[in-house]
Amino acid sequence: MPRVDKYTLAVTAGPSRDPATHVAVPVNTERPVVIETELVRASVHVRIQGFRNTSSLPTTSPYFTHPSHTTDKYSLSIAPLSFTPHAGAISGDDLVLANDFDRSISQSLPPGFSVAWRVARWVIDPGLDGDPWAEKPWMEGRVLSSVNVLDVGERNTTTTTSDTNANTVDGEIGGVGENRVDILTEGLHKAPLDTDDTTQTQTQIPETGPARMKFFIAAENRRRFTFRPGEKYWLDFFNPYLDFNDFALRLPGISIHILQYWDGQPLRYVLKNRVDGTVYLVVQFTLTPVDGASDTSDDTDTSDDDDNDEEEDDEEGEGEQPNGDDKSGEQARIHTVDTQDDVD
């Protein structure tokens, strides 16, 4: 089995899947990557517990000392996110956060992956959809039902000058500048739903993240929410299952060491419109072997693992999804800033 200490992780972000449009994300700092295109303006933060890197970036963040995140392994935060008038209004049923790949991974999937896939869909995220066995594999969840924390509008935060990692009432921990970590809290209930055409009633979005995620599992509820141009949205997607320190996926009752089956493709998160494939931004995680890593792998033979072939026909994936023209990088401005204060 490959040794995890022989690999490092690079994180980049940009307006399209093309790595040429990306810049490096300063992981575990409060310096966001700002992406500005004709469709979107977004500030991207990435935090990783046990971050293996060669860029002298912190290996962790005070984010993981907050009571809400002590068991989490990473956070992908887009805070804030706003769509331009050119992007138009986007249905809550159409905006997704997706993982997709350029080529098949079916021959690289580990034994038991079909069970892990079912656990992920039944227990972790009932709104998760996809086809990992497709020629171009894809997995996606609606932002409304898959992203852990969502807020909307202006946020009432105050800079703390504490030098400790104490929890504060406004959700910030740490000190000032780069040492201040902003912990997003749920607030999407402040946004209205469209009136139900049948009953002419106005339903309130639940006030907690888990309740809101459950509420928006229902397609009819998602269709009554609209992401509006010019409005600020705040997203934080995190979980305790994907461990970038050990390069492992740990679901309830299942543990998969990714390196043993990795085929060299990066893991990318794509914020996009699932209907027409329009890409708004991409965050990419790329494993890089250090010198000698290619010599550290055991000659593990997985040719007898026929689990993938047996299960492929049993899944209900819908085949390949539209990738769109992916032209967001053609007229984009992407850069890092010193602190989040320079963005707001």
pLDDT given for residue 253 in this prediction: 86
273 in a structural domain: yes
Lowest-confidence range among 95-104, 254-263, 319-328?
319-328
CA–CA separation, 266 vs 287, rounded Å? Answer: 7
327 in a structural domain: yes
Tell me which residue has tokens 């959809």. 129
163 in a structural domain: no
| Number of domains into which the chain is organized | 1
Question: What HEC string does the chain produce?
Answer: CCCHHHEEEEEEEECCCCHHHCEECCCCCCCCEEEECCCEEEEEEEEECCCCCCCCCCCCCHHHHCCCCCCCCEEEEEEEEEECCCCCCEECCCEEEEEECCCCCCCCCCCCHHHHHHHHHHHHCCCCEEECCCCCCEEEEEHHHHCCEEEECCCCCCCCCCCCCCCCCCCEEECCHHHEEECCCCCHHHCCCCCCCCCCCCCCCCCCHHHHHHHCCCHHHHCCCEECCCCCEEEEEEECCEECCCCEEEECCEEEEHHHCCCCCCEEEEEEECCCCCEEEEEEEEEEECCCHHHCCCCCCCCCCCHHHHHHCCCCCCCCCCCCCCCHHHHCEEEECCCHHHCC
Structural domain containing residue 269? 4-154+225-342
CA–CA separation, 251 vs 116, rounded Å? Answer: 7
Interval 183-192 mean pLDDT:
96
pLDDT given for residue 39 in this prediction: 98
Between 164 and 43, name the one with better pLDDT: 43
192 in a structural domain: no
Lowest-confidence range among 9-18, 114-123, 175-184?
175-184
pLDDT given for residue 3 in this prediction: 84
214 in a structural domain: no
CA–CA separation, 6 vs 298, rounded Å? Answer: 13
Please check whether residue 97 is in contact with residue 140, taking contact to mean a CB–CB distance below 8 angstroms. Answer: yes
54 in a structural domain: yes
Lowest-confidence range among 54-68, 111-125, 221-235, 308-322?
308-322
Question: What HEC string does 216-230 produce?
Answer: CCCHHHHCCCEECCC
pLDDT given for residue 293 in this prediction: 55
Between 16 and 54, name the one with better pLDDT: 16
pLDDT given for residue 165 in this prediction: 40
318 in a structural domain: yes
pTM recorded for the entire structure: 0.85
The CB density around residue 217, as the number of other CB atoms within 10 Å, is 15
Highest mean pLDDT range out of 67-71, 157-161, 303-307? Answer: 67-71
194 in a structural domain: no
pLDDT tens-digit readout, 28-39? 999 999 999 999
pLDDT given for residue 296 in this prediction: 41
Tokens of 202: 């106005």
pLDDT tens-digit readout, 272-286? 999 999 999 999 999
